[in-house]
Copies of this chain bind each other. A is one copy, B any other.
């Protein structure tokens, strides 16, 4: 990872406030360590739990002073905005239905925002938030964290360099087993449509798969024909979604996500074929990118190995052959966003390689895709414009 030059130009690290991610939260711990890994942020305030007492205890264990431990996100944003040393950046990791209101309020107060995915639960909200970000000029980072892996960055860079030629075929699948048994999984609010959104599987992991496809190929999903539903007996919330895709350049795609595949851990996988070769990447073995050129031997690309492009090198912190993982990929988004925020705040031009973090436009594309896939599924699988 590049040195934190811009942060140093500002004379200090960014002040970060977190909303959500309290005791027992998988993603809360992930956000906080991601913020810290590359030293772009200091954690100054939090509203960690909807239970004020738990929130206070959690804040203290993280070194947040009691007076900056808030009972809820609204209090946090309003109070921090009123402080001269208030938070620069708000990170939102609450259940999906509250992303919108916290993000809008933070932007209203001139704070930059880092927000968990999916960006919102509805397309209407996504549009409004996207517009808000655009007019505000503030930074909005959406944590589609898989795009932070060095070899995903390498894949994108290879496509950008033309090493695949025109992209023709894409297959992305995200297969998990966390909801293979009847009954709710670990995170129960996700099964409640009011909180988790219309489609559990599409919001939870489908948007990751969709973003990964767009990130690597640089293409949009133009049309979708989908089948979305629940396959485990007794479940209401969607636990699988299959889709056929037509991409913005005419390429074809295949999409398959489920959380009902018994015994599978976290199987996110993508294959991209262009006129000149194919790429394959799997999240469970993230240090290897398979590259199969048209008429030359297949290659294994690794972080910092020969042929690593700058975008991938920036996302790696260690010598070749020393595995990095999920934590570091997540942190890369925070660091990219941090560098961009610091540049904005210090009036300097941002590092072009820092600008590849997912943003509100990506969030809006994600919600459009979810909506279109559900519409297609309800309409007998008809092709539906995204």
User: Is A252 in contact with chain B by the CB < 8 A criterion?
Assistant: yes
Contact A261 B169 (CB under 8 A): yes
Using a Cβ–Cβ cut-off of 8 Å, how many residues does chain A contribute to the interface with B? Answer: 87
Which residues in B have their C-beta under 8 angstroms from that of A276?
262
Number of copies: 4
Contact A175 B319 (CB under 8 A): no
Contact A297 B299 (CB under 8 A): yes
User: Is A81 in contact with chain B by the CB < 8 A criterion?
Assistant: no
Q: Encode contact with B along A13-38: 1 for CB under 8 Å, 0 otherwise.
A: 00000000000001001100100110
User: Is A300 in contact with chain B by the CB < 8 A criterion?
Assistant: yes
Q: Which of A253-282 contact B (CB under 8 A)?
A: 253-254, 256, 258, 260-267, 271, 273-278
Contact A227 B227 (CB under 8 A): no
User: Is A229 in contact with chain B by the CB < 8 A criterion?
Assistant: yes
How far is A260 from B278 in the complex, measured between Cα atoms in Å?
10
User: Is A195 in contact with chain B by the CB < 8 A criterion?
Assistant: no
How far is A253 from B231 in the complex, measured between Cα atoms in Å?
11
User: Is A306 in contact with chain B by the CB < 8 A criterion?
Assistant: yes
Q: Encode contact with B along A286-322: 1 for CB under 8 Å, 0 otherwise.
A: 1100011111111111100111000000000111111
Of the listed stretches A47-55, A125-133, A237-245, A347-355, chain B binds A237-245
Contact B291 A297 (CB under 8 A): yes
Which residues in B have their C-beta under 8 angstroms from that of A300?
297-300
Contact B325 A322 (CB under 8 A): yes
Residue in contact with A263 in the complex, picked from B30, B278, B285, B326, CB distance below 8 Å: B278
How far is A33 from B36 in the complex, measured between Cα atoms in Å?
9
Contact A266 B381 (CB under 8 A): no
Among the interface residues A37, A265, A294, A295, which one has the most CB atoms of the partner chain B within 10 A? A265
Q: Which residues of A contact B (CB under 8 A)?
A: 8, 26, 29-30, 33, 36-37, 61, 165, 168-169, 171, 173, 175-177, 180-181, 225-227, 229, 231-232, 240, 242-244, 246, 250-254, 256, 258, 260-267, 271, 273-278, 283-287, 291-302, 305-307, 317-328, 380-383
